[in-house]
Structure 1
Amino acid sequence: MLRHLLLLLQRLRRLLQHLRVRLRRRRVACDPDAPALLLPPEALLFPFDNRTAKAKAWAKLKHHHVPNPLPCGDNCGVSINGHIVSNYRNGWTARITLFNRKGYTFKDWFVTVEMDKAYLGFQKAYSFNGTKLEGPGRLNKTVFLRGLEGLNYLTAGTDGKNPTVDPRVPGKQQSVISFTKKGTPGINIVKGEGFPTRLYFDGEECALPDEIP
């Protein structure tokens, strides 16, 4: 009789441990240390919460591993996309786009971009006010971007044409940024040395992927 009770207690203990593990897994909505998932280009226009299905489908198509739990979002107040526009002998250009899907407008927004490799080559932001910061530490690698006078409002997102099926249309601002290679000889744009090493929106750091696609 005692032996049966001990066996029953062991089974109950294992069952409780199993239930605790399942509960812990349910509480973990995302993994902040998981590698970022690649997205098809059209998914960049979707809000973060609507990208999961596309990210999983793209990973399956490209035979990429899908972590479980999925990686967390970038913790950014808005979506910030950047890509290389041109790369030539003496310089290169990039485009940065801000998408605001929130229900409110960001007034006097600003973006702080740390660029370990490309900072010295920064020339101009054409549709933003861009300034190279100078000072101790990482300031000497930082470019400060904000809206031009009269254009310093990043407007709120609006409902799509058919709100029941269409995603919200984000408020948007973008600018081309030019760089020279004179102060950065040997910079390898193809390998990602033109991308930021740190990025902040309105003072809050946005997570960046470890690898540049």
Structure 2
Amino acid sequence: MTWNVTCTYSQFLAQKTPTCCVSLSSFYNHTIVNCPTCTCGCKSNSTGSGGCVDPKTPHLASAVTGPGKSNLNTPLVQCTSHMCPIRIHWHVKLNYKEYWRVKVSITNFNYRMNFSQWNLVVQHPNFDNLTQIFSFNYKSLTPYAGLNDTAMLWGVKFYNDFLNEAGPLGNVQSELLFRKDKSTFTFEKGWAFPRRIYFNGDNCVMPPPDSYPWLPNAGSRSMVSVLRLAMTVLASFVFLVAYA
């Protein structure tokens, strides 16, 4: 008798709610797109299971180390609008003539868990032109021949491979430098933002596409300029009529 065993990981079986979310920002737009509200749960005034802790509370230490501390499977998160234990922030930082630069930050909001040897998997169409990554390790993942749009990132040993629990040290970050491929590169319509992000195998919740910090529309600027000119002419006409 022979048999085959296939093991798969199910995020939904491991935990009923999402464990991470993604926020976005860019240098060309003042809008900061936060994780969707109540992504991993909604804010509650009680601590413990389903609750959260305000980092400004004077009783923070007792809330974190009090009853339930031993139950490490139950996250005790910092009070946020999204209530996720992990947030990944993707910031489009700089634009050069031949390159563009991104800053990736991972923040741990869970007071009950550290992450050693964490990993991040990111899907973006420009990973085939990644030139340099500054403080994370990188490996290209190519599930399909000829398609290089997925990367695995993880921390540098003894530097940032350990993600601390919530607090001043509860974050790691790095910057990525991409070369521009003139046939595909654009900042329009959210192209500069990742398609999907996974933290330690969990699929992180992305903001809805219509909320992305879009590149300012040249047509909108032209309409504003025409409107401003029309208002100026109208004001001049009213002034001349008033003092004629």
TM-score by length of 1: 0.56
Shift of 1:87: 1.2
Corresponding residue to 1:101 among 109, 113, 119: 109
| C-alpha distance in 1 between matches for 2:93 and 2:123 | 19
1:202 corresponds to which letter in structure 2?
N
Find 2:154's aligned residue among 146, 150, 156. 146
> In structure 2, what is the equivalent of residue 195 of structure 1?
193
Task: State the aligned residue count.
Answer: 144
Specify every segment of 5 or more residues in structure 2 that has no aligned partner in the other structure, as ranges: 1-16, 18-22, 45-80, 214-244
Candidates 117, 126, 150, aligned match of 2:134 = 126
In 1, are the aligned partners of 2:34 and 2:207 still within 8 Å (CA)? no
Q: Indicate conservation of the 8 Å contact 1:122/1:132, yes or no.
A: no
Residue 113 of structure 1 pairs with residue 112 of structure 2: no
Q: In 1, distance between residues paired with 2:202 and 2:42?
A: 23
Give the share of equivalent positions with the same residue, in percent. 25
In the other structure, the counterpart of 2:98 is 90
* Cα distance in 1 for residues equivalent to 2:144 and 2:172: 30
- CA 1:205 to 1:43, structure 2 compared with 1: closer, same or farther past 3 Å? closer
Give the CA RMSD over aligned residues. Answer: 3.7
**Distance change (3 Å), C-alpha of 1:149 and 1:41:** same
Distance change >3 Å, CA 42–CA 132, structure 1 → 2: closer
Matches within 5 A, 1:20-39: none
CA, structure 1 residues 40+138, in 2 after alignment: closer, same or farther (shift >3 Å)?
A: same
Distance 1:147 1:173 in 2: 8
Any residues of structure 2 matched to 1:33-52 within 5 Å, and which? 41=32
The 3 A distance-change label for structure 1 pair 119 and 41 is closer
What is the aligned partner in structure 1 of residue 180 from structure 2? 181
Could you say what secondary structure the match of 2:189 adopts? Answer: coil
Q: Does the CA contact (< 8 Å) of 1:124 and 1:130 recur in 2?
A: no
Following the alignment from structure 2 to structure 1, what is the Cα–Cα distance between the partners of residues 197 and 126? 14
**Contact 2:90–2:102 under 8 Å retained in 1:** yes
Residues 111 and 179 of structure 1, relative CA distance in 2, 3 Å threshold: same
- Structure 1: stretches of 5+ with no match in the other structure: 1-29, 31-35, 53-71, 159-168
Amino acid at match of 2:179: T
1:177 to partner: Cα distance: 0.6
1:136 corresponds in structure 2 to 144
Which amino acid is 1:179 matched to? Answer: F
C-alpha distance in 2 between matches for 1:198 and 1:178: 19
